[in-house]
């Protein structure tokens, strides 16, 4: 059985006990996240392109405190679910994970070093597919490391000057779930002014990604200005691992090392 057939079979089986399963649905219009329910046409279930599905799980869990759902999740989705569970954005007891291991090609595409969802710590989870090795570190980070301080400043000045302040990098990010965001606080970021304050706008988000960024690359893919945002967050991940021994998304049982109080949303609905 192919991977997608196995996924569909798992979803079909779980739908008998759950209220629905979050996955991608492909129709003539295109492919987007969807809550499959019993009786829905599972031939429409697709695995690409990758949308962040953890925020959808969170939305549904917050909307209905009794709802029990599943999710067809890639490595990045599961890592995001791990960080969200630690901050009460999803409820592991009410979540069944159907994990899909990405192929080596897919992992290279996303520059993902950890392409197989680790599902062991989750109360209800299965894994489909054969775990691939994963990609090496971001080559842009190695280039950055060779730059002098002055060159680094110029690099970011050049990159951030392209920013159109669309907030897409925050909106798409699965671990940016704060009810009130510092990037909308006039204290830091003046409304209606382009470009965003240099370098505060991007550094605020980067600081908040310490111990949170799960390297899913969704921000970079959503950036209309093609700013290599993952360089920034990869550097943050590297420091957090070196200094605090913490890899976001890796271990459901390990508490986050920083008690940075962002106005994190309690387990209830957020409308953006």
Partner 1 sequence: MEYQNILTTCIYCGCGCPLYVQILDGEIVGVLPSKEHPISRGQLCIKGWNATAFVYHSDRLKTPLIRRGDSLEEATWAQALGLVAQRLATIRDESGPDSIGFLTSAKCTNEENYLLQKLARAVIKTNNVDHCARL
Residue ranges in contact with partner 1 by CB under 8 A: 19-20, 22, 25, 29-35, 37, 49-51, 56, 59-60, 63-64, 67, 164-168, 171-172, 221-224, 269, 271-272
Other C-beta atoms closer than 10 Å to the C-beta of 56 total 19
State in angstroms the smallest separation of the CB of 87 from ligand SF4: 10
Q: From ligand SF4, partner 1, none, which one binds at residue 271 (CB under 5 to 8 Å depending on kind)?
A: partner 1
How many residues sit close enough to ligand SF4 to count as binding (CB under 6 A)? 36
Instruction: Give the helix ranges, DSSP H, for the chain.
Output: 3-15, 54-63, 75-86, 104-110, 139-145, 149-160, 168-171, 200-208, 218-222, 229-244
Which residues in the 223-252 window bind ligand SF4 by CB under 6 A? 223-225, 227, 229-230, 233
State in angstroms the smallest separation of the CB of 115 from partner 1: 19
Binding of ligand SF4 by 176 (CB under 6 A): yes
State in angstroms the smallest separation of the CB of 180 from ligand SF4: 8
- For ligand SF4, the binding residue among 71, 169, 189, 231 (CB under 6 A) is 169
Report the C-alpha gap between 269 and 35 in whole angstroms.
17
b/e for 129-146, b at 16 or more Cβ within 10 A?
bebbebbeebeebeebee
Query: Of 270, 266, 271, which Cα lies nearest the Cα of 88?
Result: 266
Q: From ligand SF4, partner 1, none, which one binds at residue 178 (CB under 5 to 8 Å depending on kind)?
A: ligand SF4
What distance lies between CA 178 and its chain's CA centroid?
14
Q: Select 86 or 94, whichever has its Cβ closest to partner 1.
A: 94
Which residues in the 177-196 window bind ligand SF4 by CB under 6 A? 178, 181-183
Binding of ligand SF4 by 170 (CB under 6 A): yes
Report the C-alpha gap between 173 and 220 in whole angstroms.
10
Considering Cα of 71, then 77, then 79, then 81, what sign does the dihedral take?
negative
Q: Select 60 or 215, whichever has its Cβ closest to ligand SF4.
A: 215
User: What are the φ and ψ backbone dihedral angles of 106, each rounded to 5 degrees?
Assistant: -65, -40
Residues binding ligand SF4 (CB under 6 A): 163-170, 172-176, 178, 181-183, 205, 208-209, 213-219, 222-225, 227, 229-230, 233, 262
């Amino acid at each position: 059985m192919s991977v997608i057939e196995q996924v569909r079979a798992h979803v079909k089986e779980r739908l008998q006990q759950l209220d629905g399963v979050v996955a991608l649905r492909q129709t003539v219009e295109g492919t987007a996240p969807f809550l499959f329910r019993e009786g829905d046409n599972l031939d429409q279930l697709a695995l690409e392109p990758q949308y962040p599905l953890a925020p959808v799980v969170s939305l549904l869990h917050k909307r209905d405190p009794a709802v029990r759902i599943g999710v067809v999740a890639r490595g990045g989705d599961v890592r995001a679910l791990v960080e969200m569970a630690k901050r009460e954005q999803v409820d592991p007891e009410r979540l069944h994970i159907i994990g899909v291991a990405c192929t080596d090609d897919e992992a290279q595409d996303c520059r993902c070093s950890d392409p197989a969802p680790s599902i062991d710590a989750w109360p209800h989870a299965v894994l489909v597919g054969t775990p691939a090795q994963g990609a090496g570190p971001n080559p842009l980070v190695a280039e950055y490391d060779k730059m002098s301080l002055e060159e680094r400043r110029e690099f970011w000045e050049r990159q951030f000057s392209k920013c159109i302040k669309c907030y897409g990098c925050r909106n798409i990010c699965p671990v940016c779930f704060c009810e009130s965001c510092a990037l909308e606080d006039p204290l830091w970021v003046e409304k209606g002014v382009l470009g965003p304050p240099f370098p505060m706008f991007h550094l605020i988000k980067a600081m908040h990604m310490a111990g949170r960024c799960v390297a899913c690359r969704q921000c970079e893919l959503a950036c209309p200005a093609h700013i290599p945002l993952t360089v920034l967050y990869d550097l943050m991940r590297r420091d957090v691992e070196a200094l605090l021994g913490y890899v976001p998304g890796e271990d459901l049982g390990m508490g986050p090392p920083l008690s940075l109080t962002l106005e994190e949303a309690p387990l209830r609905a957020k409308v953006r």
